[in-house]
Amino acid sequence: MVAKCGPRILHHWAHATRRNCDPWWENETDWHRAWKNLFPEECREISHTAADGEIHRADIKTPTGIVIEVQHSAMSDAERHSREAFYGNLVWIIDGRGFRDNFDIFHILPDPNSHIAADIVWSKATRQMKGAATGIFFRLSEARRDYPEQKITKSPRRTWLEAMCPVYIDFGGGDSLVKLEIYDESGLACARYVSKKKFVHDAMTEAKASSIATRFYPLPK
The answer to whether 109 and 193 have CB atoms below 8 angstroms apart is no
Listed as ranges, residues in the chain with pLDDT below 70 are 1-25, 104-108, 110-112, 114-158, 186, 217-221
Residue 60 identity (one-letter amino acid): I
Q: What is the pTM of this model?
A: 0.71
The answer to whether the beta carbons of residues 51 and 43 sit under 8 Å apart is no
pLDDT attached to residue 114: 67
Q: What is the pLDDT of residue 174?
A: 84
Q: Which of 108, 103, 194 is nearest to 151 (CA)?
A: 108
The answer to whether the CB of 162 falls within 8 A of the CB of 77 is: yes
Give the pLDDT confidence score for residue 123 in this predicted structure.
61
What per-residue confidence (pLDDT) applies to 34? 94
pLDDT score for 88:
93
- Residue 192 pLDDT: 87
pLDDT, position 156: 41
Q: Can you give the pLDDT at residue 181?
A: 87
Helix (H, G, I), strand (E, B) or coil at 82: helix
Q: Do 164 and 84 meet the contact criterion of CB atoms below 8 Å apart?
A: yes
